[in-house]
Amino acid sequence: MTLARRDGADPLARTEQLHRWGEAALKRFAVEAAGERNLEKLWRLVEAHLTLHGASGVGTSAHTRRAYKRGVEELLTLWAGESLLRPARDAGALYVQRLRAGDREPVHAEAETGKRGRKPKKGPLAPATVELRLAAARALYAALRWAGATDADPFRDVRTGRDVDREEDVAGLKVYTEFELIELLGRADELEDRVLVLLGAHAGLRVSEMLALRWERVDVGSRELLVKGGKGNKTALVQLTPRLTAELEAWRRLRLAEAPSDPFVLTLRSQYGVYRRLRTLCQRAEVRFKGVHALRHAAGTKLYRQTGDLGQVQDHLRHATLDMARRYARSDRRKLRGSLDDWS
């Protein structure tokens, strides 16, 4: 069974291609894909199922699709000796605990032999990443059951487990402090580097949102930018700080002179490119690299310290619920210390 691939076809077009098959043909394709452990074929099934039955349907973001495909790939690597259609009783639970323990040597070995791409981090995965890998594994088996290839559901009752450390005790490890941001901006000789830092640390943009940002969506006069296709495929206005507004104005003038037809704010075109650029800047500024997303956390933490208003944090970072913004209240240990100083 082969699946013709049309260059440039979107997820809906690929899903319609599968939909035209009969049930028997779809089942044969799924069984074949699982038997071969073929990532591309298995991903076609997962993508189709997400498009037809996922919570966001055709609106599932490109970032989510990439993350799910990466999760399916990691499962195939760590489950090298496991039957996909008839997995062992506790195979799902064991997979998650291996992720939590950092037992991912096959993943690193495979990455080292690859020709390109970002190498996976060593050590235990962060709780949020484990949850994402678990979601990808569940999506794979939902697709296989949908295709009629198996009745197995090895991740149905699997839980990621509780983290030993309290979030508020370790949150500071993933947030750039105000002093570190000053150092980063002070050593950012390139204008684009300053814009990158401020898009995260002031506007609170995710890396995917930085890459998708176009000049037509930046209004320096109103000090606003429009995020389209953000997390959950949402569209929202983001307020700009005076510093970010000034840097964007200067950067736009430079880009108009150098590449007037380029519609994108950043010249970088991949998440790994942004990651590498910030890591290099951190090395130059002698600041510990905490990842790109830590810039967004810095924006939330600073806004909460300034206002004490979780609603403003929720609005600025575009969180779906207030509970998601509460991490910034927990991460502000200075207020707790101040409250305890007068105890006798």
* Residue pLDDT, tens place only, 62-119: 778 888 999 999 999 999 989 999 999 999 999 999 998 888 877 767 766 655 556 6
Cα dist from 125 to 130, 134, 147, whole Å: 6, 12, 31
CA neighbours closer than 13 Å in the CB half-sphere of residue 303: 26
Query: What is residue 6's predicted lDDT score, i.e. its pLDDT?
Result: 41
CA neighbours closer than 13 Å in the CB half-sphere of residue 249: 13
Give one DSSP letter per residue of 195-217, joined into a string. HHHHHHHTT---HHHHHH-BGGG
pLDDT over 90 percentage in the chain: 51
| Domain extent listing, the chain | 11-146, 171-332
Query: What is residue 171's predicted lDDT score, i.e. its pLDDT?
Result: 46
Q: Does residue 313 carry a pLDDT above 90?
A: no
Q: Which of 209-223, 229-243, 316-330 has the lowest mean pLDDT?
A: 316-330
* Residue pLDDT, tens place only, 230-274: 665 678 889 899 999 999 999 999 999 999 999 999 999 998 999
Q: Which two tokens stand for residue 144?
A: 């296989």
Query: What is residue 124's predicted lDDT score, i.e. its pLDDT?
Result: 79
Contact 108, 119 (CB under 8 A): yes
Question: What pTM value is reported for the model?
Answer: 0.62
Range 171-332 has CATH code 1.10.443.10:
yes
